[in-house]
Chains A and B, each alone.
Chain A
């Protein structure tokens, strides 16, 4: 197992009037090369959960193992852990600070203690991976557009060459074009470099397309941990948690309720379209068969 979470609890503001239990006995195992989606209502504890994975938050109780080692053990090098587990925060463009794009992306590798040449090489590779062209390398990050800033910030984490990439709502506030581009880029990285991706998102549609495992967090507990297809069969329960299944799931359920034999487990619009067409042609052939029977 790459990452293992055992019995993790976390309480905010312990011992004060504002005490809140954010995570309640969470157990998780994350394997290499997985593409995991994490969903949950605002305040469900998902952001707290992911910040535990690279040792930014110390658990109130429970253990987190990375490659079998407890990251809160005495003498564990959590700084180097953070180069293995890269975390891209929500609105990561707010963390840009350098005078130009390339130097900003080099910040991570520089902290790893690499030479200047290596840093530059890593930074350029990361920038290429997120699709930032070379003529922007020397531009101030504050002059870029929102989407470009976001991609530069993601590159800042990618440049550390992590084995696990965690992204907290990376597409929030991006236009549809920008979000697909970013998500496709992440998927491409995972497919090509074999990194593990953990994606926190509110968009069920994105989860349906990209994730191969979906974790639903509700009130500090893990409510579901399964393939998106299986999780979405619980669309009624998801609604009770303030979430929803992809819109296509509802369309398919409605169609089935009206007597069309479609597969309600379809995840994407394409899958649904195929299933509907199949059901329609099936119905048509049945009708013609019936008609023929009558004629005979």
Chain B
């Protein structure tokens, strides 16, 4: 129960939530590729339709999807500005050393739409998939890298442990902070140096407890005979069900349509 909800998972029960995370992960990749494939208005309309139907299917309130756009607004603005000013073509307005071209406007609009679609599309994935399910999916999808001795399982395990520790450490930070405030500590006033010094009573206990927790966890894992990925099975292995096959078909169809549209330039 922290202020920071991990990732941005929105707990509810929808078709998208129940879908196999591998489908969602690769589906999102396909969607992003498609976004950069399509060129004409029909192509954008198809992508928009795909995005809107995904949002509706996910049962996630629209404002949560909008919220995910907030951190990238600045990047979007800069990208659009550069596209607007630096695309060569038929000049419409000239102002000092800047000139705005018709192609520039078109490019900026396209870029803006692409970025909005891209970010909201991938946030649909993170809104409907728990971080753990996602790591699980990645472990399976990148499993082939084991052949060239990439420790896929270990990397996935480290990722899920790190993810699991974020809320724990957030809570711990909150607790220690409160405890020190209760002892009269002041984290809010003073200059930079004073504030940095004020962090010591927070950071020292936090590090001590992080190390202690890491030790405890390592011990607990060893006590359960954990020794890496070799020969390890899962309690709930990812299995494709009917809905997942249908989803694969939909994704494939979507990709095919987008390739056609890209070739024709519609």
A23 located at the interface, meaning its Cβ lies under 8 Å from any Cβ of chain B in the complex: no
B176 located at the interface, meaning its Cβ lies under 8 Å from any Cβ of chain A in the complex: yes
A107 located at the interface, meaning its Cβ lies under 8 Å from any Cβ of chain B in the complex: yes
A187 to B51, CA, bound (A): 65
A92 located at the interface, meaning its Cβ lies under 8 Å from any Cβ of chain B in the complex: yes
Say which size band chain A's interface belongs to. 20 to 34
Q: Give A contacts to B, CB under 8 Å.
A: 12-13, 16-18, 20, 51, 54, 56, 79, 82-83, 86-87, 89, 92, 94-97, 107-108, 110-112, 142, 156-157, 160
Determine whether the beta carbon of A82 is less than 8 Å from that of B205. no
Determine whether the beta carbon of B208 is less than 8 Å from that of A142. yes
B89 located at the interface, meaning its Cβ lies under 8 Å from any Cβ of chain A in the complex: no
Q: 1/0 per residue B92-108: CB within 8 Å of A?
A: 00000000000000000
Determine whether the beta carbon of B1 is less than 8 Å from that of A83. no
Known: A17-B11, A20-B1. A108 touches B209 (CB 8 A): no
Determine whether the beta carbon of B1 is less than 8 Å from that of A18. yes
Determine whether the beta carbon of A16 is less than 8 Å from that of B5. yes
Which of B117-125, B179-187, B214-222, B255-263 contacts the other chain?
B179-187
Q: How far is the CB of B64 from chain A (nearest CB, A)?
A: 9
Q: Which residues of A contact B201 (CB under 8 A)?
A: 95, 97, 107
Q: Give B contacts to A, CB under 8 Å.
A: 1, 3, 5, 10-11, 172, 175-176, 178-186, 200-201, 204-205, 208-209
Known: A94-B205, A94-B209, A97-B205. A160 touches B184 (CB 8 A): yes
Known: A12-B1, A97-B205. A92 touches B179 (CB 8 A): yes
Q: How far is the CB of A108 from chain B (nearest CB, A)?
A: 4
A20 to B2, CA, bound (A): 12
Determine whether the beta carbon of B178 is less than 8 Å from that of A51. yes
Determine whether the beta carbon of B204 is less than 8 Å from that of A97. yes
Determine whether the beta carbon of B205 is less than 8 Å from that of A157. no
Q: How far is the CB of B227 from chain A (nearest CB, A)?
A: 31
Q: Which 3 residue pairs are nearest across A and B when measured between Cβ atoms?
A: A111-B184, A97-B204, A95-B179
A60 to B171, CA, bound (A): 20
Determine whether the beta carbon of B184 is less than 8 Å from that of A56. no
Q: Which residues of A contact B181 (CB under 8 A)?
A: 56, 82
Q: Which residues of A contact B172 (CB under 8 A)?
A: 94
Known: A95-B176, A97-B200. A54 touches B182 (CB 8 A): yes
A96 to B206, CA, bound (A): 10
